[in-house]
Structure 1
Amino acid sequence: HILERVLPEKRHLEQLIFPMTRDKKTLKKFWNEAAEKVIKIIDQGKQVAFVTIGDPFIYSTYSYLLKCVKSKRPDIPVETIPGISAMNLVASLVETPLVEGNEKLVLLPLPEDLDRLKEIFCKFDTTVLMKIGKRLRPLIAFLKKMGLENSAFFVSHAGYPDQYIAKGVSYLSEEASGYLSVLIVKRKGEV
């Protein structure tokens, strides 16, 4: 845990479990259980901090936890500190601006139907795709079919020791994983 290296020893770390599933019923159960744990600690007169990867309001579990806590106890004061979003970190790592001038940017989870990306690539100068997961290989094949294989940056595990960067998906290693990954597609030119 990153926090164990930077927090004083007297701090208590409580791990909250959030399953990797799309089943809303299961997720709500875990969000509510986590909210109850947080509220219990606050009711003991202690402060709580929830640490998340990236920005807490971009595809983050934090936003769901916050909603649950506030629905149960709207009186609890909350301070949310913005983080560095994955797309900004990735743009920094590959040294390319997300947008310039009047360019348009879109951020979205990888759609189930990859053909939906055709229209998106036409409408936006920069497309940032997240939540790629196990669909990385079909996405790469789709980008090649669209002639965009050299117009994309792929980064997985950004900021971690096992960080992986590929400028152009033609050069993506077979071991590359779609988990914790971001793909930036620039409509104009090669990367």
Structure 2
Amino acid sequence: MKGTFYVIGVGPGDPELLTLRAARTLEKCQVWLTPAARKNGESTALAIASGAVSVAGKEILTHHFPMKKVHMGETPDPEVKEAWEQVVALITTELKAGRDVAMPTLGDPAVYSTGFYVCQTLLEQNPQAVVEIVPGISAIGATSAAAGMPLCLGDDQLAVIPAIFESTKIREILIQFDAVVFMKVHKSMDRLVPLLEELDLLDKAVLVERTSMTDQRVRRDLKAAMGEKLHYFSTMIVRKL
């Protein structure tokens, strides 16, 4: 294959948080493969990337990835696996034609990103394919900055987990670690808030919606946020000290 496949972290939302390397890589790639959470829906990653790099002359391919859980060590849902295989077929065609393909992905590719599943599937089918990962600013770091709260200092222990974990496991993690970052909290507030209150951690928690975006909201009254419909891009930091 003559082309290179790049997975590029475009940050949490603000195009100005795109790294210089990410911008340069996007500029040089002829093809952008942009993920969408809904069929025929818009790509947030594309909106961020195009806010920093012109799409003039680019071939924009948008692919739908089903929003379904992937459990490590288990066979993925057939619809999810099919989406990976379909997108790899598109990528392979472009790479064989000698075109570089960039896949912009929200935040950092290393943190709960579909990009790595795509890379794995591509390399399974085409072991000689050239793949590069471009790191980006994560929602975790951006949320810390928005809240004015460090993630960890000194000998602190930090955990980063999806809020969809079962309550018993979340409770254990909150007891064990000095700081916990909860991703995807938009549907879990009714479980999280009572648990934080029970552990006397409610005043140690900060919720940030749409981190770094123009309509970012920093929430410290978590009880007030319980009855609200939160945005999908919502992250919570709980720090004991």
Query: Could you tell me whether the CA contact under 8 Å between 2:210 and 2:231 is conserved in 1?
Result: no
2:49 aligned residue: 3
Q: Which amino acid aligns with 2:95?
A: I
What do the CA deviations read for 1:39-60 (whole angstroms, capped 9, x no partner)?
Answer: 1111111110010111101101
> Which SS does the other structure have where 1:80 is aligned?
strand
Instruction: Determine if the alignment matches structure 1 residue 125 to structure 2 residue 172.
Output: no
Q: Identity over the aligned pairs, expressed in percent? A: 27
Aligned residue among 6, 19, 22 for 2:66: 19
Query: Could you tell me whether the CA contact under 8 Å between 1:136 and 1:178 is conserved in 2?
Result: no
CA spacing shift, 1:56–1:24, aligned 2, 3 Å: same
Following superposition, the deviation at residue 20 of structure 1 comes to 1.2
1:79 aligned residue: 132
Q: Which amino acid aligns with 1:20?
A: M
After TM superposition, the structure 1 stretch with the greater mean CA deviation from structure 2, 130-139 or 148-157, is 130-139
Aligned residue among 147, 155, 168 for 1:115: 168
How many equivalent residue pairs?
Answer: 188
Instruction: Determine if the alignment matches structure 1 residue 183 to structure 2 residue 236.
Output: yes
Hey, which of these two has a bigger chunk of strand by percent? 2
Instruction: Determine if the alignment matches structure 1 residue 135 to structure 2 residue 169.
Output: no
Query: Could you tell me whether the CA contact under 8 Å between 1:154 and 1:166 is conserved in 2?
Result: yes
1:166 aligned residue: 219
Name the Cα RMSD after superposition.
Answer: 1.9
> Which SS does the other structure have where 2:159 is aligned?
strand
CA spacing shift, 1:178–1:139, aligned 2, 3 Å: farther
Gap regions ≥5 residues in structure 1: none
Residues of 2 paired with 1:62 and 1:109: CA distance?
Answer: 18
Residues of 2 paired with 1:52 and 1:12: CA distance?
Answer: 17
Residues of 2 paired with 1:2 and 1:119: CA distance?
Answer: 36
Report which structure shows greater RCO (CA 8 Å, sep ≥6).
Answer: 2
Residues of 2 paired with 1:82 and 1:141: CA distance?
Answer: 36
Following superposition, the deviation at residue 2 of structure 1 comes to 3.1
Following superposition, the deviation at residue 84 of structure 1 comes to 0.9
Instruction: Determine if the alignment matches structure 1 residue 91 to structure 2 residue 144.
Output: yes
